[in-house]
Structure formats: structure tokens, C-alpha cells
Amino acid sequence: MNLEIVLGNIVEAKTDAILNCANCFLERGGGVCGAIFERAGVKELEKECKEIGGCEIGHAVITKGYNLYAKYIIHTVGPIYYGREEDSKKLEEAYLSALKLADENNIKTFALCSVSTGIFGFPLQKAIPIALKTIHSFKPKSLEKCYMYCIDKNTYDFFYKAEQEYRKSHNPLLKLPTKVFVDFIKNNSKLCKDDEELKEKVNNSEEQFEIMRKIKWEDFEALSKEELARIPIGWIYDWAHICGGGYDYQEKIKALFEKHNLPLQFDKRKYLLKYNK
């Protein structure tokens, strides 16, 4: 699941839906919840919430967005933190219920906020890994991207750092041995036409092929200079054609290498970027 960390007020989010950290009675509260009710329109939103009747911890419900840019508000109830194992499970369920509800309603973009870390007292350091694991593990059908809105710099810094560390530890690029890159670029004199040809070029390894197919552009962006340097740029460009978006990635690839001050040259005859060590 694609996720971007944002420093800002969730009521300003220009997404299809936003997340509200609700209470079991779906009543207007303080903090983010109160701000959402204010911006959406207290009278209309309270009326719809009363008609729904309430929501259990770990569950989620959906309402209209009214005066918000977002068409929908998804209300999820996180746990009050008591330090129990059950608290972590309920927090995971709260995020998962919200994501499922968004997906079921054909929502494409979804603005999230940090559940239970306000007056419910869930420590940020404990809550963030649960949030990231749940979001990234979710397999959507219609949902394309989530944004984690952080109202203050402290929350943003925690989330941003944790997100970078999560991407590093789960980056499929780092699971591939250097030999795969070398063999692939050496043998790939022409673009692969289909998955079978691609599989053959990746040493006929089912595991390596599956890892490669999971690689996203964000995985390249998350690499450090040292990690990026071990991958031939030609391999990245071939990946862009096979698994990504073709020539549209050309400028992005060049910009990525230039950002890290890594040398490269563009071969106009072969339309291929080559990495020079």
C-alpha cells in the first residue's frame, strides 16, 4: 500500500476520504475529531452519526464529508491505552477496519491520522510500528494511496523516520544479490516482451522473479547512495520498461542519480542509461 507522510491538518486534505479518530458514541470530541466535526458541519454530521448509533473499538463506520473537500469521513474507534497486549491488537483492527471500509467504497485516496495517540494515551513509539505494518500489509482492490497526516512536527518526525526505516527493512531491492543485477543487465540486450522472458533473464529463479515484480519506484527512492551505487543504472532503466512506465521514468532516473552525485551517461542510440563506476 502506497503511503506518504504529511505535516498538516487533516481537515485540509484533498483526498476522497479522511479518517476520524472517533469515540464509541460517534459524538463530537476534542482535538482532530472536534476539528473534523467543525469543518464538516456539526449539525449534519452529528445527525448522521446518531442515525448510525455508535461504533465498537476496533471497528469503523462511514459518513458523508459534507463541507469537507473529502466526500467521505471514515470513523474508527481506537483503544484507550492500558499497556495490555489487547491494546495493540485493537489498534491494528481499527486501522484495518478503516482501510477495508475505504476499499469497499471504491475510495482511491485516503487521508489517515494517528489513531489513539491523543487523549487515548497510546505511546507514539508503540503505535507507529503497528500503523505502518497494518497499512503496508493491506492489499487493496480500489484504494491507491494513503496519506498519514501529522498535526505537529514531533508526530511528523516520528512517523517520517519510522516510515523510512520500514521501507529500508522491507525493500525488495535489498533482498536481491548483486549477481542478479549483473547477470540481468549483461544478458538484457533487448527489452523483455513478457513475464516468461523476464523470468528466464532473472536466472530462472522463481523467488528472485517474484521479488523483482514487487519492486516499486519508491523502493529505488528509499535507497541510500551506497545502496543505489551497487545497482547498474541500466538495470533500473530496463526495470522501468518492463515493470514500470517506460520512457516516462527516464528523467526520474537521471534526477535520482544526480541527487546522490552518482555518475551516469545517456546513450541516445540505445535509449539506455548506463552506470559508470
For the chain, the first-to-last Cα distance in angstroms comes to 34
Closest to 74 in 3D by CA, of 91, 93, 94 = 94
Q: In what order do the strands lie in the sheet with 109-113?
A: 2-7, 145-150, 109-113, 17-21, 72-76, 60-64
> Cα 110 to the chain's mean position, in Å?
10
Q: What cell numbers appear for 32 in the block? A: 482532530
CA distances from 47 to 63, 64, 83, 131, 181 (A): 10, 11, 35, 30, 59
Label residue 269 by pLDDT band (50, 70, 90).
very low
Q: Where in the chain is the domain with CATH 3.40.220.10?
A: 2-169
Question: 10 Å Cβ neighbour count for 31?
Answer: 12
Tell me the β-bridge partners of 18.
73, 111
User: In this predicted model, which residue has the larger pLDDT, 126 or 167?
Assistant: 126
pLDDT tier, 217 (very low <50, low <70, confident <90, very high otherwise): confident
Residue 215: Cβ within 10 Å count: 18
Burial class from Cβ neighbours inside 10 Å (0-12, 13-18, 19+) for residue 179 reads: exposed
> Is the CATH number 3.50.50.60 carried by domain 2-169?
no
Lowest mean pLDDT among 37-51, 79-93, 201-215, 247-261: 201-215
Does the pTM surpass 0.85? The reply is: no
Please state, rounded to an integer, the average pLDDT across all residues of the chain. 83
Residue with cell 485540509: 12
DSSP string for 74-86: EEE-PPPP-S-HH
Q: Which residues pair with 110 in a beta bridge?
A: 17, 146
Band of the pLDDT at 238, cuts 50, 70, 90?
Answer: low
Task: Look at the alpha carbons of 97, 100, 105, 106 in this order and tell me if their dihedral is positive or negative.
Answer: positive
The per-type count for the chain, helices as H runs and strands as E runs, is 12, 8
Residue 84: phi, psi to the nearest 5?
A: -90, 160
Would you call 198 helix, strand, or coil by DSSP? helix
**What confidence tens digit (pLDDT) does each residue in 99-155 have?**
999 999 999 999 999 999 999 999 999 999 999 999 999 999 999 999 999 999 999
Torsion angle of the four alpha carbons 240, 218, 171, 256, in this order, in degrees rounded to the nearest 10: 70
pLDDT on residue 276? 36
* Higher-pLDDT residue of 177, 236: 236
83 Cβ contact partners less than 8 Å away, ≥ 6 residues apart: none
